[in-house]
Chains A and B, each alone.
Chain A
Amino acid sequence: MDDEWVAVAQCADIDEDDTHAVRVDGREVCLYNVAGAFFATDNKCTHGDADLSDGLIQDGHLIECPLHEGTFDIRSGRAMSAPCTEAIRCHDLRVQDGVIYLRVAS
């Protein structure tokens, strides 16, 4: 349903290869701009107490947690390197007229 989609940011808010934290329904979400394509995952690392939005995007599509440098694939949420082992939750994202809409997985 259309009303599940929530506008959370403007595309212009996020530079290429950068991250942006937003809050939707009380949930911290991290938005990514990967070479002009936008993705969204939970912001809290599944390993330590850290925000992925403070991390760096590596090798095009990996987000590196700033605390212990474990990585996740931004596109699938898969944990890619130690100490991260548990996938990060991904959220549906849609861009319309320069606005980013999210449908947050419960």
Chain B
Amino acid sequence: MQPAVVQLKQLAPRFELTRKNLLGARHLPGGVYSSPEIYAMEKERIFMTHWLSVGRVDEIPNVGDYMTFSVMDEPILISRPADDEISVCMNMCLHRGVAVANGCGNAKDFSCPYHAWLFDVGGKLIAAPGMKESEVDLKGARMKPLPVKIWRGWIFTTFSENPRPFEDFIATYEEKLWWFQSGECKTAHKVEIDVKCNWKFLVENLIDIYHVGVIHKSTFGGFVKGEKIKFNLEKDGGWHTQYEARPHSKSGEQVFPTLPWAKDKSSGIACKAGIYPNLNLSMRADSLRMWHVWPTSPGTTRVVCYLLFPEEAFSIPDFDEELKKYSGFVEQIIYEDAAMVESLQNASGSKFFQPGPMAPLEEALHHLENHYIDVMTGEQ
């Protein structure tokens, strides 16, 4: 295959169709969802430059707690070296690059499984056995630290050497998302599901109201009035909206206590937002969710959905059972979507696939797909 830049040049006339105004526009061409070269370029242009949420502070509450994660094959170590400190660094031994930490847990230090180089919880080298005679100065050496910013309970980091100021990146959401008080919440459960499609299909799917009444008819689709939804489009591919819908339960009845900040609002309040590239934030009267969409290969994606509640929800009678039902409900939604986006993925690689026209309800997708073209073809 041709290099990504050449492929993108060849797709330029198709991008022009996505560039048209909403009612005349077509979706992105299949190539951007199926090409390995374009996927590699997305890593550099998108995931290696943006601020990314990689977890929550309440996942590592105690000193020594850690978790490991990979962003498009870049292994990172997220840890709490001190009570008031969260650290993110590359999880690569300074000797040969082996991951020194695995999974998650609590540790006093990390011993590389290969040659036993030892690192403290924050990634600083403590010991390099058998290296006394080495002429290389290892004093003060540490695994490459990444910047860390905490926003409403989320740990944000970036791989960029020259990141945009975080405050600037988050300003719109800090100002507009009064309803996403995730800093006041605890993680009740994390739903993780692998889906066989390109990451962008899932990000788009999470914005797509048009499909809700069709495929989610038996879960929550019947409770959403799609035609009444108006999106607020923000710069850099961001968006947010508020509409009427029922809580996320099979019957549509509210199960958990009303969120403190939604008490003076309609019981049918629903809010949603997207932070580019891969976050989808959502509220119903009794719950918050944040979806992370992680590319794992051009045609595979991992969805990580955090289910969040304020403290008082955890003490309702039968909480565990209700949580199980609720989390099963969320999983069911993902499975309903997965069947569609996997079929979509199949079509994207076909020479017969022609992207169709956008629906009026796909305003936020139009915004997002156009932002994608900006990011991939614009100046860096």
A interface residues, Cβ below 8 angstroms from B: 48, 66-70, 82-83
Contacts and interface: CB of A to CB of B under 8 A. Distances in A.
A68 B126 CA distance: 9
B361 to A, nearest CB: 58
Given A68-B129, A69-B127, 5 more contacts: A48-B111, A67-B116, A68-B118, A69-B130, A83-B126
B194 interface: no
Contacts of B129: 66-69
24 contacts: A48-B111, A48-B116, A48-B118, A66-B129, A67-B111, A67-B116, A67-B129, A68-B111, A68-B116, A68-B118, A68-B126, A68-B127, A68-B129, A69-B127, A69-B129, A69-B130, A69-B132, A70-B127, A82-B126, A82-B127, A83-B109, A83-B118, A83-B126, A83-B127
A83 B116 CA distance: 12
Interface of B: 109, 111, 116, 118, 126-127, 129-130, 132
Specify the main secondary structure of chain A where it touches its partner.
Answer: loop
A83 B129 CA distance: 11
A66 B129 CA distance: 8
B28 to A, nearest CB: 52
B121 to A, nearest CB: 12
A69 to B, nearest CB: 5
Contacts of B132: 69
A91 B130 CA distance: 29
A48 B110 CA distance: 10
A103 to B, nearest CB: 31
A66 B118 CA distance: 13
A68 B118 CA distance: 7
A48 B126 CA distance: 13
Contacts of A69: 127, 129-130, 132
A67 B111 CA distance: 9
B5 to A, nearest CB: 47
A48 B130 CA distance: 16
Nearest to A49: B111
Contacts of B127: 68-70, 82-83
Nearest to B115: A67
